[in-house]
Amino acid sequence: MSSSETSSIASLNNVMLQINRYCTIFILLFGFVGNILNILALSQRNLRSNPCGWYFLTSSIANLISIVSGLLTRLLSGWNNDLTETIDWLCKLRAFVVFSSRTIALWLIMFATIDRWLLSSANAHYRRLSTLKNARRITFIVVFIFCLMYVQMFYCYQANGRHSYESVCV
């Protein structure tokens, strides 16, 4: 490798380090506050008893879990304190929580969209499918399926000792 390539790599590594240190703080702060406000607003009885409100409430909880578990370790890695780089079970747990919670949140938003479509349908049978009982069932099924789908993280991922974002399946 030439010296210019080495200096370019060092510069890019420094940029990545600065992004992990400073940009992550803002994303974590705004994501945390935004999801907490969503949870507070959607926890009101009239919204919690609405199927669409239920989907958005549980999606906000999943997003909050994803943001805290994913970005907190990125923030710590910017200061060389990320335990997921060296502790294998923590690396696996972080990967499982981040991937499953992000996927769960997206699917719940998709089901909220489907619920709104069902409720606005001209067909009375479709409108009757939009119930809180069905929303809770679907939420349970989504959480179960995606936790089951990402359980492979516990036996595939390993902390490689340097950068947990380079974790590999073995």
CATH-assigned architecture of domain 3-169: Up-down Bundle (1.20)
Those residues whose C-beta lies under 8 Å from the C-beta of residue 77, and which sit 6 or more positions away, are 20, 84, 85, 163, 164, 165
Per-residue pLDDT tens, the chain, 170 aa: give them: 677 788 888 889 888 888 878 888 899 999 999 999 999 999 999 988 899 999 999 999 999 999 999 888 888 877 777 777 778 888 889 999 999 999 999 999 999 999 999 999 999 999 999 999 999 999 999 999 999 999 998 888 776 655 545 554 33
Q: Each residue of 16-43: pLDDT tens digit?
A: 888 878 888 899 999 999 999 999 999 9
Domain boundaries, the chain: 3-169
- Contact predicate 60/32, CB 8 Å: no
Q: What is the DSSP letter of 151?
A: T
